[in-house]
Amino acid sequence: MRGRATLHAWLMLGPAMVLLVAFTHYPVVATFWHSLFSTPRGARPARFVGLENYDVLAADPIFWQALTNNLIYALGTVPLSIALALVMALWVNGRIAGKAALRVAYFTPTVLPMIAVANLWLFFYTPDYGLVDRLTQLLLGWGATNWLGSRETALGAMMVVAVWKEAGFFMIFYLAALQAIPPVLYEAAAVEGASRWEVFRRVTLPLLGPTTLFIAVNALINGFRLVDHIIVMTRGGPDNATALLLTYIYEVGFRFWDTSQASALTMVLLLLLMLIALAQFTFLGRRTHYR
């Protein structure tokens, strides 16, 4: 009886575990392994080169630029999306007229494909007659700006699109957390005569702590994953100003077909993600959401 239950358990776990190992765990190990070999070209097979691919990487200015860009991109979009998501959730959960419509509006970008979104924003950013330029001209009197074509603005423009895309999704998590706060707490605060700001700071915000951390981790991962619009809108340009790790991996791996170099690049990305995971487990402990 006991043996059969165990057999059942393994049979039920089997398919999921095999596929998970094949497409998540094995590739991590294989990436490391292949990053130690040269890329096979034509008749020349791959040969062991030790850490040479990493040496090449360290000497590659585009890699350093992509890494810096990616850190700016991640650290810039994370706090912005979190703050916006929180404000949205408070509004949608509050007393404002037309809450249901607001919720739909905020959430809409989440269901649009990033690639479709990229096409629309491409037009918004068009110099002179794009909507962004028209607005800045109308409100601030600025001239035509080549938002996607100049090094100074391109990465910022990409970050705006990313924040616009994901803030509404994170709003849902905040909304769920807000609605789980017992009304008794607000009543108690009202009895104490606390101001709205005090209630927010002392009751709402602390109770949203675990949600904020959960969202922060997800937003951070998105900061390394959400690159579809960059591939379509700027292809990492101009002059690598919007190159991120994943777009560079794509370029090196599938445009130059230098898979070993791309493997070394992937290792850097994986290392960053492992650091995030480690930080998450040390600072949060497991209990907040992996219960």
Task: Please give the residues from 156 up to 175 whose contact with another protein meets the rule CB under 8 A.
Answer: 164, 168, 172-173, 175
Please state the closest distance from residue 177 (CB atom) to another protein, in A. Answer: 5
Of positions 66, 82, 241, 246, contacts another protein by CB under 8 A: 246
Task: Please give the residues from 49 up to 108 whose contact with another protein meets the rule CB under 8 A.
Answer: 84, 87-88, 90-91, 93-98, 100-108
Provide the token pair at 43. Answer: 């008749």
Please state the closest distance from residue 291 (CB atom) to another protein, in A. Answer: 8
Of positions 131, 144, 188, 279, contacts another protein by CB under 8 A: 131
For position 136 contacting another protein by CB under 8 A, the verdict is no
Stretch that binds another protein, among 42-50, 57-65, 74-82, 199-207 (CB under 8 A): 199-207
Rg (CA), the chain: 24
From CA 253, how far away is CA 257, in angstroms rounded? 5
Provide the token pair at 273. Answer: 């993600």
Question: Total residues at the site for another protein (CB under 8 A)?
Answer: 103
Provide the token pair at 255. Answer: 């445009």
From CA 33, how far away is CA 47, in angstroms rounded? 12
From CA 116, how far away is CA 228, in angstroms rounded? 10
For position 120 contacting another protein by CB under 8 A, the verdict is yes
- x/- binding map, residues 256-275, to another protein, per CB under 8 A? ---x--xx--x--xx--xx-
Provide the token pair at 72. Answer: 């700016």
Tell me the β-bridge partners of 48. Answer: 37
Residue type, 161: V
For position 251 contacting another protein by CB under 8 A, the verdict is no
For position 276 contacting another protein by CB under 8 A, the verdict is yes
From CA 117, how far away is CA 126, in angstroms rounded? 14
